[in-house]
Amino acid sequence: MNKLFAAAVFATVAFGAAANAASLSGAGATFPAPVYAKWAEEYKAKTGNALNYQAIGSGGGIKQITANTVDFGASDMPLKPDVLAQDGLQQFPTVIGGVVPVMNLPGIKPGDVKITGPILADIYRGIRKFWDDPVIASYNKGVKLPHLPITVVHRSDGSGTTFLFTSYLSMNAAHWASGPGANVSVNWPVGIGGKGNDGVAAFVKQTPGAIGYVEYAYAKQNHMTYALMRNKSGRWVAPTAEAFAAAAAGAKWGAAPGYYLLLLDQPGANAWPISGATFILMHSKQANAQTGHDVLAFFDWSYKNGNPAAETLDYVPLPEGVKSLIRKSWLKITGPDGQPVYK
């Protein structure tokens, strides 16, 4: 059935390509779709080259690039280096986002409440049941925490946001790592599931005492009540563009083969602890050198000129040092003649 499906997709893509030879195709994660669309629009206005991106979800993006039905795939979850090698893929990050815990507590303003990773894991495991729990209160002296039951809200749909969030919980609590674990969807011990960021946000807003997690851009645009998180250097940080950039800057990209890196608990005084990049996947061996060249030319152009567009959409651009590192790694993407497709 998968093969049939792949064949159908392939036929569609092939016909599409025949109709417009200059058009590039990509598919995958929904999280970066708005910024890819914006970049593609600006790129087309400048160069005349079109790029068509389908936001079908990270899992779909990985499937389609593996089946070779698109020119590039996109995923919020980086593939592990051995999987990349096995499928003959290269991977590089484009923009940074992150996950923000949000809540609904009467009289509590954004940034009033402080939460640590282990406490967050305890809450999502159902161990801490009330907001005035002594352990939560010990980090929040001077804050009037109400005696309200904590209602846990999570994403019900499979999502890169959930993957990042549950990976963070697994890093911070052994009971989470050995229990529910980390994935795009997990077996949640407690709580209710909302569909998408807006589903989670709606349940949080309607339930006094609720806690949920949403993408940074969503939390910012909707002015949600976020919590301060304690990062690796022991400082309390708010979810801001600077805090996400700090997480990306502090990360050791050079030491991560295939850029397999979750920006969780990264060093850096101001780093937000639940950050993550979103990734592009391409075949190391390009069957058509020109196509490979065109895709990389697009991302090169976007790295150079795309920061303002990304920032207006509340994505965080990669630090310049990381970008030049990525440009060097593009030399590993070669055409049929073994030469790099883009120099």
Partner 1 sequence: MSTAEISAADPAPRRLASARGSGLEPVFHAACFMAATTLLAALGGVLVALAIGGWPAIAKFGVGFLTNVTWDPVQDVYGAAGPIVGTLITSALALLFALPVAGGVAFFLVELCPPALRRPIGTAVELLAGIPSIVYGMWGLFVFAPMFAKWVEIPAMAAAPADSIWSTLVQGIPNGSGILAASIILAIMILPFMAATLRELLHTVPAQVRESAYGLGATTGEVVMKVTLPYVRRGAIGAVMLGLGRALGETMAVTFIIGNSHDFPKGLFDAGSTIASTIANEFNEASGMQQSALIALGLVLFLITFIVLALARLLLRNQARL
CB of 196 to partner 1, least distance (A): 9
Q: Which amino acid is at 323?
A: K
Question: For residue 111, which amino acid is it?
Answer: G
Kindly give, in sequence order, each residue whose CB lies less than 8 Å from that of residue 12, ignoring residues fewer than 6 positions away.
Answer: none
Task: Specify the stretch interacting with partner 1 by CB under 8 A; choose among 7-15, 183-191, 282-290, 306-314.
Answer: 183-191
Give DSSP secondary structure letters for 128-185: --BTT-HHHHHT-TT------BPEEEEE-S--HHHHHHHHHHHHH-HHHHHTT-SSSS
Number of residues that bind partner 1 (CB under 8 A): 32
CB 58 within 8 A of CB 184: yes
Piece in contact with partner 1 (CB under 8 A), picked from 18-26, 82-90, 136-144, 196-204: 196-204
> Six-digit token pair at 144?
């009037």
Cβ nearer to partner 1, comparing 124 with 342: 124
According to DSSP, the residues that pair with 302 across neighbouring strands are none
Q: Which of residues 55-74 bind partner 1 (CB under 8 A)?
A: 56-60, 63
With CB under 8 A as the contact rule, which of the stretches 122-130, 174-182, 241-249, 251-259 interacts with partner 1?
174-182
Q: How far is the CB of 178 from partner 1 (least distance, A)?
A: 11
Beta bridge partners of 178: none
Q: Does 32 help bind partner 1 (rule: CB under 8 A)?
A: no
Please say which residue, 104 or 140, places its beta carbon nearer to partner 1: 104
CA–CA separation, 51 and 24 (whole Å): 5
Query: Residue 262, SS3?
Result: coil
Residue 203 touching partner 1 (CB under 8 A):
yes
Considering only CA atoms, which of 330, 291, 296, 325 is closest in space to residue 20?
Answer: 291
Nearer to partner 1, 56 or 316 (CB): 56
Q: How far is the CB of 166 from partner 1 (least distance, A)?
A: 8
> Which span sits near partner 1 by CB under 8 A: 12-20, 187-195, 219-227, 316-324?
187-195
Check residue 193 for interaction with partner 1 (CB under 8 A): yes
What residue ranges bind partner 1 (CB under 8 A)? Answer: 1, 56-60, 63, 151, 156-159, 180-188, 191-195, 199, 202-203, 206-207, 210
